[in-house]
């Protein structure tokens, strides 16, 4: 697959938190070439299933044993804005959908999605000429921001509704050294990882049933992963989400180098599965950098592992710079290495994988 | 299995093996292998079948994990930086002894601090933060520290279990080894209905293992056995004391994670009264525990929490009354007796 | 609707102690539905089969906020903690009552210089002269609620401490009393413990297993002096919720609710709430998930002792729902 192409197209598609329905239908078509069965569930998650290519010994004997089921998870939703008020002058007030920093918004261009069609908008910024001496030192607040649609108020009121979605502009550009920047690399770059892994698995034998879950509403609490894990009920969860790549002035121990997958260690991760992941990386010569989450991981992992009566999980981070901006930057090689690690790990799950898991 | 042994086992959230093994072996010994299983989070679930299926299905829960620290990196000076696993006030960490790692690979360490002689006035008045503290295991450089304590290594308090005063004990992890201790005793409890003992994992890092154990069992009634915070010394106003060690296990009408089923709450008090088990009511609403997750697992159940009052909870030196520990068991047993009365 | 509302708002029912409310509602609806039952958390769950292909769960919570007694002082003062979102600023010089009928005054102690108001600075005076007398009247763990009676204002408005959420309960009872001939199957749940974290709805949705969930709840009306909040106004119709902190309504559900309002010929508003959530947040996450929405009743002074709603918004809300469940 052409990762760059997929990234360019997927990051450009409409899919704000809670409004992923159309995106889910498109992602379904992306997984179909690699999987035996793909469907969209009640929460708009995409569930793509690749059946085992070889039977375990135990299965051959009684036929009734189910193969181990591993579920990869990456989320499809993006952070966005929604219209909360239409002012008398026809400009719009907005709030974030998911964790949006108001500081990145002044002078941004956006699309306002109305019932009757999409509108181009500009987020206003007071010109320096009219600012007070210390205005530029103040942080940006939601109530200082507004969207300019270039239309008079009457027309705006007829066209725009409270609650309309607003997405950012941020098309993909290539930088030096195999890097690319775009909006919504969080977390569509990890969906690219899953597709890459699915493609690799066409050529690797595996005993496990491999499920790829493109989850919805991660940005507001991992809701798609929660309901998806309940429905799929896997034996193992393998979550892929972006993590913080190093940047100048970063607090110590809060980032990882940008060039390699970053598995997470911590109380929310099953430690024997993590050891297995490290072993898989080593035997496949995949460089990894460990990351610590001392409490919740802040990813879909937190919801998957407590689905039903529990799912042991591992989490691998794809390093990304400038998270939740429209210039999120990743290294393409890191995406490929994550895909390689994911496929190898899935292929390493044999019957008896859970022997001594807890004792 | 005695409380001393349990308290001195090292087991933070996600790495409860030391306690899990002990608990598993005892449960299998008492109930047989078929009665004991793990859920997907490593909780141990031991189930006694019902002799009388018209009685409510009861589940007790206590968590195996304790508060501690996790290594995150090492400096060039060989000192180990760490984060908290669970809710820890950094101020209780100064000048303490710890164990870094588990089992044979574990090494002792210390958490030191700048000597008072060298502190400026500002530094003297400032509170320490976790980021400024480190563990010294005597490593000569970064490489040695990282080999002994790679990122993610667990660090536990090195407190020795010590009985003192009139029936008090000072130890680490009374929260919630007291509950584990009493649940092991309850394997023999007198109750004719279905009885499950769930030793949960990862409570201190977010009330995690109880959710999955609760979902697996989906009892009619769940009783959580915990250690809870007592704030009774140091000239505290009565209404902020919460509960008083020595006056019996305390029963909660509400905490931040759940409102106790009112009838069940009253039944526990009544049982304590009738069977002459000293007990008190927890007179504060604070903190959360496994009850909330279990109450809302699946189709829901009635819950109540019975806790041993512990001073200095979430520190290396918790203190509780041994009588209270014993009475937690007796109050649990009395409650079962009264549930059988119907 | 007016009489029903007056009847429901005086009932005692803080979170965790809703059984009185459940008993009264059960007596009002049991002849209109196929079955009623209670579950472990005290939810009242009513089923009514319809001819439609879908099974929709409606959730209206019975509980309201209160103050739980944690300690009795030697002088007989009761110290309290909150059950649900109690606003300390709304809690001075209020009349309160307990389940057993004991009444009292909720007030604040004299603050020291620099001390801030908090739940710990409040106390209840039940007229006891000391601790012993107080404990002969109430028990630690008892819950007090604001006790003003309901009263009418203007032509169409009513005030009570319990509009959140007895008004929604009245609306749901109204729906069950006005079902069209062909309708979707309904699970009407009068939920418990919403104010402490949508707890009742969590377990009710799990056992009911509906295809879709609609919460009915009050929402904050932004139309009082100097309140810079979003645009929901009292008297301009029920509100169709787009988003709050617990849930994002499914866009198809939003569209269906708006279409239902249009067909029923009633005014409606679109609502985005920056804080607060409803039972929809719990229903959407049950098992494998489901699309959800919320119908909101605009309400001024939410979580005070004087919550105000407009009966026209309720009548219009009822028409919208009746149209919505047509098969």
Q: Pick from C242, C274, C291: which is nearest to A163 by CB? A: C242
Domains held by chain C: number:
2
- For C154, list phi and psi in degrees, rounded to 5: 55, -160
- Does residue B300 belong to the interface with chain C, where contact is any CB pair within 8 Å? yes
B155 in helix, strand or coil? strand
Are C237 and C132 in a shared domain?
A: no
Are C181 and C194 in a shared domain?
A: yes
Which of C18, C194, C195, C323 does the annotation list as catalytic?
C194
Are A213 and A270 in a shared domain?
A: yes
The radius of gyration of chain A from alpha carbons, rounded to an integer in Å, stands at 22
pLDDT at residue C231 is higher than 70 = no
Are A248 and A216 in a shared domain?
A: yes
Are the beta carbons of A220 and C248 separated by less than 8 Å?
A: yes
| pLDDT over 90, % of chain A | 82
Residue in chain A nearest B73 by alpha carbon: A253
Q: Pick from C248, C249, C270: which is nearest to A217 by CB? A: C248
More confident residue, A18 or B116: A18
Q: Are C179 and C257 in contact (CB under 8 A)?
A: no
pLDDT tens track for A299-355? 999 999 999 999 999 999 999 999 888 999 999 999 999 999 999 999 999 988 999
For chain B, the domains span 3-66+172-341, 68-157
Record the tokens describing residue B82, joined without a space.
């760490």
Would A206 be classed as within a structural domain?
Answer: yes
| Residues in chain B closer than 8 A to C196 (CB atoms) | 259
Q: Once rounded to an integer, what is the mean pLDDT over residues A42-63?
A: 84
Provide the Cα torsion B7, B8, B12, B13; round to 10°.
-30
pLDDT at residue A142 is higher than 90 = no
Q: Once rounded to an integer, what is the mean pLDDT over residues C179-196?
A: 97
Confidence of residue A147 (pLDDT cuts 50, 70, 90): very high
Rounded CA separation C60/C58 (Å): 7
Q: Which residues contact C109 (CB under 8 A, 6 or more apart)?
A: C121, C122, C123
Q: Pick from C71, C199, C206: which is nearest to B299 by CB? A: C206
Cis peptide before B240 (omega within 30 of 0): no
pLDDT at residue B78 is higher than 80 = yes
**Nearest CA distance, A162 vs chain C (angstrom):** 6
Residue where one domain finishes, among candidates C103, C123, C146: C146
Would A245 be classed as within a structural domain?
Answer: yes
Are the beta carbons of A271 and B15 separated by less than 8 Å?
A: yes
| pLDDT over 90, % of chain B | 85
pLDDT at residue C63 is higher than 90 = yes
Residue where one domain finishes, among candidates C120, C146, C172: C146
Structural domain for A212, as ranges: 3-78+183-348
Are C281 and C141 in a shared domain?
A: no
Are A84 and A74 in a shared domain?
A: no
Extended beta strands in C221-325, E state? 239-243, 269-272, 292-299, 307-310
Q: Once rounded to an integer, what is the mean pLDDT over residues B4-14?
A: 96
Question: Burial, C10: exposed, middle or buried (Cβ in 10 Å; 0-12, 13-18, 19+)?
Answer: middle
| pLDDT over 90, % of chain C | 94
**Nearest CA distance, A218 vs chain B (angstrom):** 19
Would C156 be classed as within a structural domain?
Answer: no
| Cβ–Cβ pairs < 8 A, chains A and B | 89
Residue in chain A nearest C270 by alpha carbon: A162
Question: B68-157: what fold?
Answer: Elongation Factor Tu (Ef-tu); domain 3 (2.40.30)
Chains that touch C (3 or more CB pairs under 8 A): A, B
Question: Burial, B15: exposed, middle or buried (Cβ in 10 Å; 0-12, 13-18, 19+)?
Answer: buried
pLDDT tens track for B188-244? 999 999 999 999 999 988 878 899 999 999 999 999 999 999 989 988 888 889 999
Would A175 be classed as within a structural domain?
Answer: no
Closest by alpha carbon to B91, among B70, B66, B113, B110?
B113
pLDDT tens track for C254-275? 999 999 999 999 999 999 998 8
**Nearest CA distance, B252 vs chain C (angstrom):** 9
Are A74 and A87 in a shared domain?
A: no
Cβ atoms within 10 A of the Cβ of C170, count?
Answer: 29
- Does residue A224 belong to the interface with chain C, where contact is any CB pair within 8 Å? yes
| pLDDT over 70, % of chain B | 100
pLDDT tens track for B238-251? 888 999 999 999 99
Q: Once rounded to an integer, what is the mean pLDDT over residues C218-237?
A: 87
pLDDT of residue B115: 87
Domains held by chain A: number:
2
CATH architecture of B3-66+172-341: 3-Layer(aba) Sandwich (3.40)
pLDDT of residue B261: 97
Active site residue C194: yes
Structural domain for C103, as ranges: 66-146
Per CB distance under 8 Å, which residues of C are interface residues toward B? Answer: 15-17, 39-41, 68, 70-71, 73, 79, 81-83, 120, 140-141, 193, 196, 199, 202-204, 206-207
| Cβ–Cβ pairs < 8 A, chains A and C | 72
Give the orientation angle of helix A185-200 with respect to helix A3-12, to 10 degrees: 140
Rounded CA separation B316/B92 (Å): 8
pLDDT of residue A57: 66
Record the tokens describing residue B85, joined without a space.
């696993």
Which CATH number belongs to the domain containing residue C274 in this structure?
Answer: 3.40.630.10
More confident residue, A101 or A21: A21
Q: Once rounded to an integer, what is the mean pLDDT over residues B62-75?
A: 96
Are C110 and C205 in a shared domain?
A: no
- Does residue A78 belong to the interface with chain C, where contact is any CB pair within 8 Å? no
pLDDT at residue C230 is higher than 70 = no
Mean pLDDT over all residues of chain B?
Answer: 95
Q: Are A227 and A41 in contact (CB under 8 A)?
A: yes
Would C152 be classed as within a structural domain?
Answer: no
| Residues in chain A closer than 8 A to C286 (CB atoms) | 227
pLDDT at residue A65 is higher than 80 = no
Q: Pick from C70, C196, C202: which is nearest to B259 by CB? A: C196
Q: Pick from C270, C274, C284: which is nearest to A162 by CB? A: C270
Confidence of residue A63 (pLDDT cuts 50, 70, 90): low
Confidence of residue A60 (pLDDT cuts 50, 70, 90): low
Which CATH number belongs to the domain containing residue A132 in this structure?
Answer: 2.40.30.40
Q: Which residues contact A124 (CB under 8 A, 6 or more apart)?
A: A91, A106, A145, A146, A147, A148
Which CATH number belongs to the domain containing residue C131 in this structure?
Answer: 2.40.30.40
Would C153 be classed as within a structural domain?
Answer: no
Would A356 be classed as within a structural domain?
Answer: no
Are the beta carbons of C288 and A231 separated by less than 8 Å?
A: yes
Confidence of residue B114 (pLDDT cuts 50, 70, 90): confident
Residue where one domain finishes, among candidates A134, A168, A202: A168
Rounded CA separation B223/B243 (Å): 19
């Amino acid at each position: 697959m052409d990762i760059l192409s997929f990234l360019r197209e997927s990051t450009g598609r409409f899919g704000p938190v809670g409004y992923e329905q159309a995106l889910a239908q498109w992602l379904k078509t992306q997984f179909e070439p690699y999987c035996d069965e793909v469907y969209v569930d009640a929460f708009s998650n995409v569930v793509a299933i690749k059946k085992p290519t070889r039977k375990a010994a135990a299965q051959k004997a009684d036929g009734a044993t189910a193969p181990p089921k591993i579920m990869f998870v990456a989320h499809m939703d993006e952070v966005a804005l929604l219209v909360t008020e239409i002012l008398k002058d026809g400009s719009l007030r907005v709030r974030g959908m998911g964790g949006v920093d108001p500081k990145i918004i002044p002078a941004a261009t956006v699309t306002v999605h109305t019932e009757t069609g999409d509108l181009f908008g500009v987020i206003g910024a007071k010109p320096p000429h009219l600012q007070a001496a210390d205005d530029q030192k103040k942080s940006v607040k939601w109530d200082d921001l507004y969207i300019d649609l270039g239309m008079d108020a009457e027309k705006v009121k007829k066209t725009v509704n409270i609650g309309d979605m607003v997405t950012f502009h941020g098309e993909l550009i290539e930088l030096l050294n195999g890097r690319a920047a775009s909006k919504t690399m969080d977390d569509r770059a990890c969906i690219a990882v899953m597709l890459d892994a699915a493609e690799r698995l066409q050529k690797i034998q595996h005993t496990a049933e491999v499920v790829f879950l493109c989850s919805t509403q991660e940005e507001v609490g991992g809701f798609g992963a929660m309901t998806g894990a309940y429905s799929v009920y896997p034996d193992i969860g393998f979550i892929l989400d972006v993590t913080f790549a190093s940047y100048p002035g970063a607090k110590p121990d809060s980032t990882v180098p940008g060039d390699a997958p970053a598995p997470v260690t911590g109380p929310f991760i099953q430690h024997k599965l993590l050891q297995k992941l490290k072993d898989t990386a080593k035997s496949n010569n995949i460089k990894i950098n460990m990351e610590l989450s001392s409490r919740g991981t802040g990813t879909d992992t937190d919801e998957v592992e407590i689905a039903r009566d529990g799912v042991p999980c591992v989490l691998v981070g794809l390093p990304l710079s400038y998270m939740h901006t429209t210039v999120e930057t990743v290294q393409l090689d890191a995406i490929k290495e994550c895909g390689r690690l994911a496929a190898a790990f899935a292929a390493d799950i044999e019957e008896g994988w859970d022997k001594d898991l807890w004792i | 299995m005695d409380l001393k042994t349990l308290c001195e086992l090292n087991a933070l959230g996600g790495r409860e093996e030391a306690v899990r093994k002990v608990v598993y072996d005892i449960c299998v010994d008492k109930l047989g292998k078929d009665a004991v299983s793990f859920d997907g989070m490593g909780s141990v679930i031991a189930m006694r079948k019902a002799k009388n299926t018209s009685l409510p299905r009861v589940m007790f829960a206590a968590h195996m994990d304790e508060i501690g620290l996790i290594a995150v990196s090492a400096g060039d000076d060989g000192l180990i930086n760490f984060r908290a696993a669970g809710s820890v006030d950094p101020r209780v960490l100064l000048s303490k002894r710890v164990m870094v790692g588990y089992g044979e690979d574990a090494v002792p360490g210390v958490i030191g601090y700048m000597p008072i002689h060298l502190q400026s006035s500002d530094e003297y008045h400032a509170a320490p933060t976790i980021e400024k503290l480190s563990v010294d295991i005597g490593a000569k450089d970064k490489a040695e520290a990282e080999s002994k304590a790679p990122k993610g290594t667990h660090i536990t308090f090195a407190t020795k279990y010590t009985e003192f005063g009139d029936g008090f004990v000072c130890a680490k992890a009374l929260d919630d080894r007291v509950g584990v201790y009493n649940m092991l005793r309850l394997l023999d409890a007198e109750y004719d209905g279905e009885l499950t003992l769930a030793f949960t994992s990862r409570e201190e890092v977010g009330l995690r293992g109880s959710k999955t154990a609760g979902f697996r069992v989906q009892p009619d009634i769940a009783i959580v056995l915990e250690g809870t915070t007592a704030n009774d010394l140091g000239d505290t106003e009565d209404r902020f004391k919460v509960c008083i060690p020595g006056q019996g296990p305390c029963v909660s009408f509400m905490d931040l994670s759940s409102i106790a089923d009112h009838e069940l709450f009253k039944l526990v008090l009544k049982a304590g009264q009738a069977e002459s088990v000293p007990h008190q009511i927890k007179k504060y609403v604070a903190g959360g525990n496994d009850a909330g997750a279990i109450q809302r697992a699946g189709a829901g159940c009635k819950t109540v929490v019975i806790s041993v009052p512990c001073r200095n909870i979430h520190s290396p030196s918790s203190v509780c009354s041994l009588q209270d520990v014993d009475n937690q068991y007796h109050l649990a047993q009395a409650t079962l007796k009264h549930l059988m009365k119907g | 609707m007016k009489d029903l509302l007056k009847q429901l708002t005086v009932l005692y029912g803080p979170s965790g102690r809703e059984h009185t409310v459940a008993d009264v509602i059960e007596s009002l609806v049991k002849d209109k539905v196929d079955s009623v039952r209670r579950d472990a958390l005290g939810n009242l769950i009513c089923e009514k089969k319809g001819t439609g292909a879908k099974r929709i769960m409606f959730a209206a919570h019975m509980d309201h906020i209160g103050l739980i007694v944690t300690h009795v002082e030697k002088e007989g003062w009761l110290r309290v903690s909150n059950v649900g979102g109690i606003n300390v600023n709304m809690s001075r010089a209020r009349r309160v009552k307990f389940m057993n009928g004991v009444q009292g005054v909720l007030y604040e102690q004299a603050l020291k210089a620099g001390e801030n108001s908090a739940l710990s600075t409040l106390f209840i005076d039940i007229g006891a002269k000391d601790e012993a007398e107080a404990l002969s009247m109430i028990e630690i763990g008892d819950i007090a609620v604001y006790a003003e009676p309901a009263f009418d204002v203007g032509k169409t408005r009513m005030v009570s401490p319990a509009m959140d959420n007895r008004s929604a309960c009245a609306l749901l009872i109204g729906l069950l009393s006005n079902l069209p001939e062909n309708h979707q199957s309904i699970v009407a749940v009068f939920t418990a413990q919403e104010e402490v974290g949508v707890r009742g709805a969590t377990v009710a949705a799990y056992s009911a297993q509906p295809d879709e969930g609609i919460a009915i709840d009050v929402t904050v009306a932004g139309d009082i002096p100097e309140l810079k909040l979003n645009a929901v106004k009292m008297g301009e119709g029920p509100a169709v919720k787009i988003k709050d902190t617990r849930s994002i309504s499914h866009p198809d559900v939003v569209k269906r609710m708006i279409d239902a309002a249009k067909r029923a010929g009633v005014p409606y508003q679109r609502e985005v709430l920056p804080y607060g959530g409803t039972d929809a947040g719990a229903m959407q996450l049950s098992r494998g998930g489901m699309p959800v929405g919320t119908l909101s009743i605009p309400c001024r002074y939410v979580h005070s002792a004087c919550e105000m709603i407009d009966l026209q918004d309720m009548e219009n809300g009822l028409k919208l729902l009746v149209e919505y469940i047509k098969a």
